[in-house]
């Protein structure tokens, strides 16, 4: 049980990293609080697994420190860190039975056999493995094996943290949901810090209280699923979270606001001041498809867009619009009439985000 | 899809059947032919039934060399398998040194049996051989030509020198095939080095070790050239193993009937022991 703090941490796989592009993890400082359920969300190759391996000690970071509570653990091996990690693909000890597999981490610590039996049975019950305890691990199916792998991670309750590296990749979809629930239960029961790496936003938001979104070796936002959805701090978060992702449009500053082509979007004065004071190379507006307002009838203040495609997803429809040459996705609720040919839309001010060089611009008083 | 039901596919098996027939079955049938008859020349032959078999099975000379052979093969396996695994575990896993190691390991395997015998025959001599001379200078009495134990050890060491690299290379390939994640998981589970060896490396090497054990057993059980070159099976009969006894019987004394009968017994022993090894080593896979 520990609070895990990453202090100015950076990692590069090359011996002499030249620029920031040589880093798998760019310098970051981040805290995982004791007892939290966290998800580390990001696309393949963004450094999620590297970060996880650094926390568990399988990798040694090239710069910065890893703290467990008030101790720097950089030089401690995974064995000494007393941490559990579940890997993407199942790892079982083929020659052992399921019982011995689950007991292995405990026996390695010299836990007495009576306690080993209680713990293993407890975990087997949680993971529905009781029927298989006497079976050889080599004869299990892929998802049974993965459950055993997870069981080995969960069987020690004194660990500093449990790290999951996309553990449900090989699991059947209907079982995935069940296992995620199980993990959540275990988390509530034992109050262990859990970090769950995934590239699936649904998986992340059902498991975690707080999600860290990683992109290009950095954590670009750390927040609740709701925060990530409503106020993405980085264009990547906007794009990656939500289905479909946020609409991002390149804009230029104009008097009283910003605009593109013949579209003008007014900004509040505080925001105009912030924009004027910020140096930038690219400027984008972002608005979630859910937040684009579609008017039932032509309306003076609204913008007129061409409807190019309608996608019916059952409970809602996704419209693809063309607004002065920019493609725009809009999520339309079921009860709304589908506009034909032309749609009248507006961007509610509170949901319109402005990004300078991909980072959210926030005006001072907000 | 409509499946055609007939037996034409058997024709496809025919070439293999013919090949095996000519390479194994026909020559073996010749031996069977000799083993049940007493043949003097082309016109005079007598059917003797199981007489030759009865005779060779009661022959004390064969009993002795069979016992010697089993002890020898057991020693070979007991030394070469663990040593080969140990060498493989110590070999570097990547970089230039792993290549250098692999090449060095291959060299003994490229040397023909009789050359190995000759090398050690000279190497072990007390007058001009480095090994024999050094041992004698150090006050250790060593003479493979007169001392049975010395001759025995020399043949054994020769085999270990010649073939441990085969076991090592097979084990090495088995070790390289283990994904890193197993080692990572073991570290997370706080496994000791012994536990990693016992529960990850050894099980994952099992299939290559099975090949290594079978090859080394069959090869050592048929050893002929090395002791023949070294001492001709002596001193006394101390390094006369089965194949040499058999050769003496067949070619030296021209006892073709008993020799044929014994060849078959010899073959069946190898088959039986190989089957025992195979069954013992693969048995654990079943639940």
- Segment (H or E) for B67: helix B60-90
Query: In what order do the strands lie in the sheet containing A303-312?
Result: A293-295, A342-346, A303-312, A316-323, A326-333
CB pair distance less than 8 Å for A87 and B200: no
A57, A58, A95: residue with CB nearest B203: A95
pLDDT of residue B6: 82
Residue of chain B minimizing CA distance to A92: B182
pLDDT in tens, B266-275: 889 999 999 9
- Nearest to residue A167, comparing CAs of A182, A157, A189, A156? A182
CB pair distance less than 8 Å for B190 and A94: no
pLDDT of residue B164: 94
Mean of all residue pLDDT scores within chain A: 86
Contact list in B for residue A94 (CB cut-off 8 A) is: 203-204
pLDDT in tens, B4-55: 788 888 899 999 999 988 888 888 888 888 888 887 777 777 778 788 888 8
B188, B199, B285: residue with CB nearest A96: B199
**Residue B234 is assigned to a structural domain of this protein:** yes
Determine the residue among A91, A107, A120 to mutate to test chain B binding: the one whose Cβ has the most chain B Cβ atoms within 10 Å. Answer: A91
A85, A95, A109: residue with CB nearest B188: A85
**Residue B211 is assigned to a structural domain of this protein:** yes
**Residue B50 is assigned to a structural domain of this protein:** no
3-state class (DSSP) for residue B77: helix
Confidence of residue B215 (pLDDT cuts 50, 70, 90): very high
Determine the structural domain holding residue B144 and report its residue range: 59-283
Handedness of CA A8, A9, A11, A15 (dihedral sign): positive
A78, A104, A136: residue with CB nearest B187: A78
**Residue B39 is assigned to a structural domain of this protein:** no
| DSSP calls for A218-285 | EEEEEE-HHHHHH--SBHHHHHHSSSS--EEEE-EEETTEEEETTEEEE--HHHHHHHHHS--S-EEE
- With beta carbons less than 8 A apart as the criterion, state whether A55 and A3 touch: no
Please check the confidence at residue B119 and state whether its pLDDT lies above 50.
Answer: yes
- pTM comes to 0.77
pLDDT of residue A364: 58
Q: What is the CA radius of gyration of chain B?
A: 24
Please check the confidence at residue A153 and state whether its pLDDT lies above 50.
Answer: yes
Residue of chain B minimizing CA distance to A91: B182
Query: How far apart are the C-alpha atoms of A159 and A31, rounded to whole Å?
Result: 17
Structure-model confidence comparison of residues A324 and B39, the more confident one: A324
**Residue B252 is assigned to a structural domain of this protein:** yes
pLDDT in tens, B154-166: 899 999 999 999 9
- With beta carbons less than 8 A apart as the criterion, state whether A270 and A364 touch: yes
pLDDT in tens, A66-111: 888 888 888 888 888 888 899 888 889 988 899 999 999 999 888 8
Q: Which CATH number does the domain housing residue B264 bear?
A: 1.10.3720.10
3-state class (DSSP) for residue B82: helix
Task: For chain A, give the number of residues.
Answer: 366
Please check the confidence at residue A335 and state whether its pLDDT lies above 80.
Answer: no
Mean of all residue pLDDT scores within chain B: 87
A82, A93, A108: residue with CB nearest B200: A93
pLDDT of residue B285: 61
Q: What is the ipTM of this complex?
A: 0.78
Confidence of residue B169 (pLDDT cuts 50, 70, 90): very high
Query: How many contacts does A have with B, using Cβ atoms within 8 A?
Result: 56
CB pair distance less than 8 Å for A58 and B187: yes
**Residue B21 is assigned to a structural domain of this protein:** no
Biggest alpha carbon distance in chain B?
Answer: 82
A175 vs chain B: nearest CA distance in angstroms? Answer: 23
Domains of chain A, earliest start first = 4-238 (3.40.50.300), 245-360 (2.40.50.140)
Q: Quick count: other Cβ atoms within 10 Å of Cβ A356?
A: 16
- Nearest to residue B81, comparing CAs of B168, B159, B156? B168
**Residue B49 is assigned to a structural domain of this protein:** no
The token duo for A97 is 């039975």
pLDDT in tens, A112-130: 899 999 989 988 888 888 8
CB pair distance less than 8 Å for A87 and B195: no
Contact list in B for residue A95 (CB cut-off 8 A) is: 199, 203, 284
What is the percentage of chain A residues whose pLDDT exceeds 90?
A: 10
Residue A125 CA neighbour count, 13 Å, CB half? 8
Please check the confidence at residue B287 and state whether its pLDDT lies above 50.
Answer: no
Contact list in A for residue B285 (CB cut-off 8 A) is: 138
B185, B190, B285: residue with CB nearest A109: B190
Q: Which residues of B touch A (CB under 8 A)?
A: 181-182, 184-185, 187-192, 195, 199-200, 203-204, 284-285, 287
With both helix axes pointing from N to C terminus, report the angle between A98-108 and A142-154 in degrees, rounded to the nearest 10. Answer: 20
Query: How far apart are the C-alpha atoms of B101 and A294, rounded to whole Å?
Result: 72
DSSP one-letter code for A337: P
CB pair distance less than 8 Å for A108 and B192: yes
CB pair distance less than 8 Å for B203 and A58: no
Q: Quick count: other Cβ atoms within 10 Å of Cβ A80?
A: 11
The token duo for A107 is 């026996």
**Residue B51 is assigned to a structural domain of this protein:** no
| DSSP calls for A73-128 | -TT--HHHHT-EEE-SS----TTSBHHHHHHHHHHHTT--HHHHHHHHHHHHHHTT
The torsion of the CA quartet A340, A341, A344, A349, rounded to 10 degrees, works out to: 100
Determine the residue among A57, A78, A164, A195 to mutate to test chain B binding: the one whose Cβ has the most chain B Cβ atoms within 10 Å. Answer: A78
A82, A87, A108: residue with CB nearest B181: A87
CB pair distance less than 8 Å for A91 and B287: no
CB pair distance less than 8 Å for A85 and B184: yes
How large is the average pLDDT for residues B114-121?
Answer: 88
Please check the confidence at residue A136 and state whether its pLDDT lies above 90.
Answer: no
pLDDT in tens, A276-291: 888 888 889 899 998 8
Q: A52-61, A174-183, A204-213, A237-246 — which is least confidently predicted? A: A174-183
pLDDT of residue B74: 94
CB pair distance less than 8 Å for A135 and B287: yes
Structure-model confidence comparison of residues A116 and A349, the more confident one: A116
How large is the average pLDDT for residues B222-229?
Answer: 86
Count of domains forming chain B: 1
Determine the residue among B174, B189, B193 to mutate to test chain A binding: the one whose Cβ has the most chain A Cβ atoms within 10 Å. Answer: B189
Determine the residue among A84, A104, A119, A167 to mutate to test chain B binding: the one whose Cβ has the most chain B Cβ atoms within 10 Å. Answer: A104
Q: CB burial class (10 A; 0-12, 13-18, 19+) of residue B233?
A: buried
pLDDT of residue A365: 47
Residue of chain B minimizing CA distance to A89: B181
pLDDT of residue B216: 92
The token duo for B186 is 């073991």
Please check the confidence at residue A38 and state whether its pLDDT lies above 70.
Answer: yes
How large is the average pLDDT for residues A216-239?
Answer: 90
Residue of chain A minimizing CA distance to B191: A108
Q: Which residues of A touch B (CB under 8 A)?
A: 53, 56-58, 77-79, 82-85, 87, 89, 91, 93-96, 104-105, 108-109, 135-136, 138-139, 149, 152-153
- With beta carbons less than 8 A apart as the criterion, state whether A65 and A9 touch: yes
């Amino acid at each position: 049980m520990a609070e895990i703090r990453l202090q100015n941490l950076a990692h590069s796989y090359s011996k002499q990293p030249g620029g920031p592009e040589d880093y798998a993890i760019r310098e970051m400082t981040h805290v995982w609080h004791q007892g939290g359920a966290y998800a580390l969300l990001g696309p393949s190759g963004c450094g999620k697994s590297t970060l996880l391996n650094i926390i568990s000690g399988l990798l040694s970071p090239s710069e910065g420190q890893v703290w467990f509570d008030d101790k720097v653990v950089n030089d401690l091996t995974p064995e000494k860190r007393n941490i559990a990690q579940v890997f993407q693909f199942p790892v079982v000890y083929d020659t052992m039975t399921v019982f011995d597999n689950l007991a292995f981490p405990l026996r390695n610590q010299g836990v007495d056999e009576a306690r080993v039996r209680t713990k293993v049975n407890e975990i087997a019950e949680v993971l529905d493995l009781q029927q298989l305890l006497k079976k050889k691990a080599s004869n299990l199916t892929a998802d049974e094996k993965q459950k055993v792998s997870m069981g080995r991670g969960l069987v020690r309750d004194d660990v500093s943290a449990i790290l999951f590296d996309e553990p449900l990749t090989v699991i059947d979809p209907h079982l995935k949901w069940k296992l995620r629930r199980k993990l959540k239960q275990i988390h509530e029961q034992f109050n262990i810090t859990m970090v769950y790496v995934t590239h699936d936003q649904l998986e992340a938001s059902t498991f975690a209280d707080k999600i860290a979104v990683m992109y290009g070796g950095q954590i670009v936002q750390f927040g609740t699923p709701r925060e990530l959805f409503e106020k993405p701090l980085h264009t990547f978060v906007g794009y990656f979270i939500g289905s479909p992702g946020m609409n991002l449009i390149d804009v230029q500053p104009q008097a009283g606001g910003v605009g593109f082509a013949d579209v003008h979007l007014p900004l509040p004065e505080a925001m105009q001041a912030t924009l004027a004071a910020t140096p930038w190379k690219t400027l984008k507006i972002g608005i979630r498809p859910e937040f684009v307002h579609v008017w039932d009838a032509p309306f003076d203040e609204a913008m007129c867009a061409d409807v190019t495609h309608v996608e019916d997803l059952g409970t809602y429809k996704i419209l693809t619009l063309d607004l002065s040459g920019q493609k725009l996705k809009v999520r339309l609720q079921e009860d709304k009439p589908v506009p034909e040919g032309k749609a009248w839309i507006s961007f509610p001010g509170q949901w319109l985000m402005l990004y300078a060089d991909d980072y959210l611009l926030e005006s001072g008083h907000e | 899809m409509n499946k055609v039901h007939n037996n034409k596919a058997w024709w496809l098996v025919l070439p293999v059947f013919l090949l095996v027939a000519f390479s194994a079955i026909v020559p073996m049938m010749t031996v069977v032919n000799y083993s049940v008859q007493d043949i003097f020349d082309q016109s005079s032959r007598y059917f003797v039934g199981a007489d030759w078999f009865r005779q060779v099975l009661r022959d004390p000379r064969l009993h002795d060399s069979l016992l010697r052979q089993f002890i020898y093969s057991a020693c070979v396996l007991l030394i070469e398998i663990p040593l080969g695994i140990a060498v493989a575990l110590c070999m570097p896993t990547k970089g230039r040194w792993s290549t250098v190691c692999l090449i060095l390991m291959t060299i003994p395997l490229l040397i023909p049996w009789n050359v190995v015998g000759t090398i050690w025959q000279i190497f072990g001599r007390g007058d001009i051989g480095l090994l024999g001379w050094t041992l004698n200078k150090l006050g250790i009495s060593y003479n493979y030509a007169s001392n049975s134990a010395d001759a025995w050890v020399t043949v054994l060491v020769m085999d270990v020198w010649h073939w441990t690299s085969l076991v090592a290379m097979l084990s090495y390939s088995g070790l390289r095939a283990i994904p890193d994640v197993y080692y990572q998981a073991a570290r997370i589970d706080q496994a000791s080095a012994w536990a990693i060896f016992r529960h990850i490396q050894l099980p994952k090497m099992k299939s290559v070790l099975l090949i290594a054990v079978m090859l080394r057993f069959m090869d050592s059980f048929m050893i002929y050239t090395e002791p023949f070159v070294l001492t001709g099976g002596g001193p006394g009969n101390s390094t006369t193993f089965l194949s040499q006894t058999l050769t003496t019987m067949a070619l030296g004394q021209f006892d073709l009937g008993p020799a044929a009968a014994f060849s078959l017994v010899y073959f069946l022993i190898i088959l039986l022991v190989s089957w025992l090894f195979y069954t013992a080593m693969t048995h654990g896979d079943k639940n």
